[in-house]
Structure 1
Amino acid sequence: MKINADFSRRAVVAGDQYQWCASPQQGVERVMLDRLGEEKARATSIVRYAPSSHFPRHQHPGGEEILVLSGTFSDEDGHYPAGWYLRNPPGSSHQPFSDQGATIFVKLWQMDAADNCQARIDTRDPTSWQQGDGREICALYSGFGEQVNLQRLAAGERLFHTPLQGAELLVLEGELVSDAHTFCQGSWIRLPAGEYPEFIAGPLGVTLYLKIGRLGKTTLGF
């Protein structure tokens, strides 16, 4: 299966145009943002757990990255309400579930094989945020050719000031504007290398997830 699999092109899934499809596990459904492979795939998805749903224990040979968007996501290590960022390195395993229901942003099979970083970060904690480059930044990960963070921009502020080697973002709150397009909450955008001066925060500002670098790479060569 290939969805938005050409990383040399811009890919966009608007927040108001999600197409939900069932997963192999009852009570769990997803929006496939990009994908290379079948059930074992290099994939970026929005995943929704119904209340009292679960997934069987499984491994992540290529690693897993999660941002909890709503509800509470859980596994045997703890309970993670909206705003928590989880990073599980290659070779890790867990048995996820949600008692009250949850929606999460998930990236699979996209880490370097030598990456052994495990992270649990509460991005709702004010101490997780720092001022930098004229905006607020919550650093999540840096290493192996990628940087991941959350950013808060004031209205009208430009997102990118230098050329990119590729970037991926998810609008969490507010709006992001690019030329005549307005990207609302939930919008996902993947950008190839280049310059993107047109991206600015909307009239109420914007909060977004941002990953720079390592796009298209995987440990398994899908």
Structure 2
Amino acid sequence: MRINADFSKPAFVLPDQYEWRPSPQAGVERVMLDRVGEEKARATSVVRYAPQSFFPVHSHPGGEEILVLSGTFSEDNRHYPAGWYLRSPPGSSHRPFSEEGVVIFVKLWQMDREETEEVRLDTNNPANWVVEPEREYCPLYSDSSENVRLVRLPAGASVFSGSTPGAEIFVLQGSVLDRQRTYSSGSWVRLPAGVYTDFAAGGQGAKFYIKTGRLGEH
């Protein structure tokens, strides 16, 4: 299966384009944003757990990255409400479930195989944010190949300050604009390396997840 699998071209999915598809586990559905492979795939998805749903214990040979969008995501005996960021390195395992139901942004098989760091970060905590003129950001993860953070921008502020090696954005609040369209909350955008001076926060400002670097097929 190949969905938005040409990483040399821009790709986007807006909320009104979501196609919810069942997963192999009852009560769990996903919107496939990009995908290379079948069930074991390099994939970026929005995943929805119905209340009282779960996955059996399983491992992630290529690692897993999660941002909790709404509800509460649980694994083993730990519980993470909306705003938590979870990063589990290659070879990790867990039993994920949700008592109340949850929607999460998920990335699979997109880490360096040598990565070992586990991250569990509450982005609701102001202490985890850095405040700069015209922008605020919450660092989530970085290494020599990628940088992941949440960003808050006031209305009209530019998303990029210069050229980018490639970027992936998931809009959480407000909107991001370019010359062609508006990316409202729930929109996903992937851009190849280039200069994107026309990307800016909309009239109500914007809060978004952004990853730069290591975007291509693995």
Taking structure 1 as the reference length, the TM-score comes to 0.96
Deviation at 1:217? Answer: 4.3
Give the aligned partner of residue 98 of structure 2.
Answer: 98
Give the aligned partner of residue 150 of structure 2.
Answer: 150
Give the aligned partner of residue 4 of structure 2.
Answer: 4
Aligned length: 218
Please give the per-residue CA displacement for 1:33-82, whole angstroms capped at 9, x wherever unaligned: 00000000000000000000000111000000000000000011400000
Please give the per-residue CA displacement for 1:75-125, whole angstroms capped at 9, x wherever unaligned: 114000000000000000000000000000000000001110100000011
Cα distance in 2, alignment partners of residues 141 and 111 from structure 1: 11
Cα distance in 2, alignment partners of residues 161 and 89 from structure 1: 30
Cα distance in 1, alignment partners of residues 74 and 98 from structure 2: 6
Q: Tell me the amino acid that sits aligned with residue 186 of structure 2.
A: G
CA contact (8 A) 2:36 2:217 kept: no
Give the aligned partner of residue 171 of structure 2.
Answer: 171
Cα distance in 2, alignment partners of residues 77 and 86 from structure 1: 15
Give the aligned partner of residue 60 of structure 2.
Answer: 60
Stretches of 4+ aligned residues off by more than 2 angstroms: none
Cα distance in 2, alignment partners of residues 140 and 133 from structure 1: 20
Amino-acid identity (%): 60
Q: Tell me the amino acid that sits aligned with residue 216 of structure 2.
A: G
Q: Does 1:183 pair with 2:183?
A: yes
Give the aligned partner of residue 141 of structure 1.
Answer: 141
Cα distance in 2, alignment partners of residues 5 and 144 from structure 1: 24
CA contact (8 A) 1:112 1:144 kept: no
Give the aligned partner of residue 23 of structure 2.
Answer: 23
Cα distance in 2, alignment partners of residues 88 and 80 from structure 1: 14
Cα distance in 1, alignment partners of residues 180 and 32 from structure 2: 26
Ranges in structure 2 where 5+ consecutive residues have no aligned partner: none
Cα distance in 2, alignment partners of residues 60 and 77 from structure 1: 18
Q: Tell me the amino acid that sits aligned with residue 153 of structure 2.
A: L
Cα distance in 1, alignment partners of residues 85 and 112 from structure 2: 19
Cα distance in 1, alignment partners of residues 132 and 32 from structure 2: 32
Q: Tell me the amino acid that sits aligned with residue 122 of structure 1.
A: D
Provide the alpha-carbon RMSD of the alignment: 0.9
Q: Tell me the amino acid that sits aligned with residue 171 of structure 1.
A: V
Corresponding residue SS for 1:74: strand
